[in-house]
Amino acid sequence: MPVVHFDLADGTRRSAEGDNDTPVMFLAKRNEIEAILAECGGACCCATCHVHVHPDWKDRLAPMEDDEQDMLEFAEGVDEYSRLSCQIKLTDDLDGLVVQVPESQY
């Protein structure tokens, strides 16, 4: 199963594994990564699952759909590495993915 590493604002790293097609957000919630609020439950309408994807991984993710791009405008501290974790689905190719949880979500 693919493993995702969550780098938290306090400098610690939490790692979790999940089945293919599982959204990274679900993995965070299941593993009690509290800063991923995910208030809409993955419906792409809240932006509280915002993460920064490590630069080494940015181009390995599926491109953003328009609704993810639109919703990201409501997140704080958005940059070129920003994604909504509910829209990133796990695949074997994403084993080892590193995402940073923005400090603004704590």
Is 40 a residue that touches ligand FES (CB under 6 A)?
Answer: yes
Is 88 a residue that touches ligand FES (CB under 6 A)?
Answer: no
By CB atoms closer than 10 A (0-12, 13-18, 19+), residue 77 is exposed
Tokens of 43: 């419906």
Is 61 a residue that touches ligand FES (CB under 6 A)?
Answer: no
Binding characters for ligand FES, 8-37, by CB under 6 A (x = yes) = -----------------x------------
Quote the least distance from Cβ 75 to ligand FES, whole Å.
9
Segment contacting ligand FES (CB under 6 A): 3-11, 44-52, 54-62, 98-106?
A: 44-52
Note whether 89 and 27 are within 8 A (CB).
Answer: no
* C-alpha–C-alpha distance, residues 40 and 55, integer Å: 27
Is 42 a residue that touches ligand FES (CB under 6 A)?
Answer: yes
- Angle, CA 58 vertex, CA 36 and CA 101 arms, to 5°: 20
Q: 10 Å Cβ neighbour count for 4?
A: 26
Q: Using CB under 6 A as the criterion, which residues of the chain lie in contact with ligand FES when the complex forms?
A: 25, 38-40, 42-49, 71, 84, 86
